[in-house]
Structure 1
Amino acid sequence: MHQDRTADLIPFTIDLTFEEARRRAAVVTALGPDWDPMAALRGEDEAYALFYSGLDAEQQRTYDRLVAAGVLPGEDQGRAAAH
């Protein structure tokens, strides 16, 4: 039978709050002052609409089934990248 040695363990914790703030600041800096998040979201919406445009009847039925199943967002739900 194994002996329980958890009482011998030393607690180890790391607070990543500072590192996460540093990482986010680095991302915003890398994006630069001209980055427009609303324009990026509009571009993603346009790309999404273009990607799913021109579907034939069978593709449209498959797309509708995927939306109904919650696999793809519907028009009223917005895009995953926009949230």
Structure 2
Amino acid sequence: MSSQGPTLPNEPVDFSIDLGEHEVLRRAHVLDAIGPDWDPVAVLQGEEAAYDLLYSGLSEEQQRVYDDLVAAGVLPRRGHGHASP
């Protein structure tokens, strides 16, 4: 093994990568993995239902914290001004 390390080229080397082509390939792999039965509308509806359940039945203190987070712009307002009962 040489103590001088690797030999570097004296001229610039082009390290270009076509990210557009790579992104198309990545998306194709993602869609292939998801499968043909994927329903994005149903997924979004399921996420909304999960958030409704997450913010349901809050105690007074939890509701106060929720309202503070909404007022600060950390969480979106859900339902009619309060988390679902």
Q: TM-score, normalised by structure 2?
A: 0.70
Indicate the residue corresponding to 2:24 in structure 1: 21
Q: How far did residue 10 of structure 1 move?
A: 5.6
Q: Give distance in 2, aligned partners of 1:10 and 1:33.
A: 43
Q: Give distance in 2, aligned partners of 1:58 and 1:51.
A: 15
Indicate the residue corresponding to 1:54 in structure 2: 57
Indicate the residue corresponding to 2:73 in structure 1: 70
Task: Please give the per-residue CA displacement for 1:18-40, whole angstroms capped at 9, x wherever unaligned.
Answer: 11111111111111111100000
Indicate the residue corresponding to 1:37 in structure 2: 40
* Structure label with greater radius of gyration: 2
Q: State the secondary structure of the residue aligned to 2:58.
A: coil
Structure 1 portions without partners, runs of 5+: 1-7, 77-83
Residue type of the alignment partner of 2:77:
G
Q: How far did residue 13 of structure 1 move?
A: 3.9
Percent identity for Structure 1 against Structure 2: 59
Greater helix share, structure number: 1
RMSD of aligned alpha carbons: 1.9
**CA 1:9/1:67 → structure 2, altered by over 3 Å: closer, same or farther?**
farther
Q: TM-score, normalised by structure 1?
A: 0.72
Q: Give distance in 1, aligned partners of 2:12 and 2:65.
A: 54
Structure 2 portions without partners, runs of 5+: 1-10, 80-85
Residue type of the alignment partner of 1:48:
Y
**CA 1:26/1:57 → structure 2, altered by over 3 Å: closer, same or farther?**
same
Q: State the secondary structure of the residue aligned to 2:24.
A: helix
Aligned residues: 69
